[in-house]
Amino acid sequence: MPTKAIPKKYWGPFTRGYEKQQQAIVEEYGVRLDERATNQFLNAAAGAAKDGEHLSIVMPAGANRPLGLGRDMAKRRAVYNISTASTVKMAAPENTSHDGDATDISSGRDWLIKNGHKYGAWREFGAADPNHFRWDLVTKAGTPREEAVQLVEDICEHRGIKLSSINKVLWVSRIMKNPAQANVLRKKLDKRAKK
């Protein structure tokens, strides 16, 4: 899928002591997402700005990670500003979730947790990787999905809710903290979607 560059004003700061190395990485690989995700991110950044917040992406590899970048990241972790807050093990370069529609956020995270569902963003790994967001939900105000995205992070460490073209709620989740509670929520959402 074609990618689109993220404007420089949304780049987070380079890490002190690694500025030259990180700048070289960005020059080689760019800061890119697929076109849809870029548009969703830019819309969210505009929404955040209206609320006095600034969204930015972790440098140098908080957006799309081509295979070469992922391999370099595995070798030179210190250069890549990897979050110590994350308890999720970094995926092998060929299995990264940073495949065009995921970002690591360096500023504006709390705003995005609260408002991301309006722009198609959700925390893919929940609190286990607090700065990591996917931009793959197509939202529509007032759908069961919008409500669910706000509720479900409390009961799942990894979750996603999607609304199909026939308005049926599709549930994707792993590592449930409370499967019974999740099942009740899923049934409630399915009922609402049928109305």
Q: Domains of the chain: which residue ranges? A: 3-108
Which pLDDT belongs to residue 195? 56
Helical (H) or strand (E) element with 164? none
pLDDT of the residue at 180: 58
Q: What is the dihedral of CA 61, 64, 67, 70, to 10 degrees?
A: 30
**From the DSSP assignment, how many helices (H) and strands (E) are in the chain?**
6, 7
Q: Does residue 36 or residue 158 have the better pLDDT?
A: 36
Distance CA 54, CA 56 (A): 6
Q: How far apart are CA 192 and CA 19, in angstroms?
A: 51
Tens-place pLDDT, residues 144-194: 333 333 344 444 433 444 444 444 434 443 334 455 555 665 666 566 555
**Percent with pLDDT over 70 in the chain:** 69
Write down the pTM of the prediction: 0.71
- Confirm if 62 and 104 have CB atoms less than 8 A apart: yes
Say what the pLDDT of residue 105 is: 94
Contact 133, 121 (CB under 8 A): yes
Indicate whether 98 pLDDT > 80.
yes
- 174, containing H or E segment: strand 169-176
- Give the tokens for residue 83: 């979050």
* pLDDT-wise least confident of 2-16, 85-99, 165-179: 165-179
Report the range of poorest mean pLDDT among 6-15, 40-49, 133-142, 146-155: 146-155
Span 58-89, pLDDT tens digits: 999 999 999 999 999 989 988 988 888 888 88
Mean per-residue pLDDT over the chain, rounded: 76
pLDDT on residue 165: 42
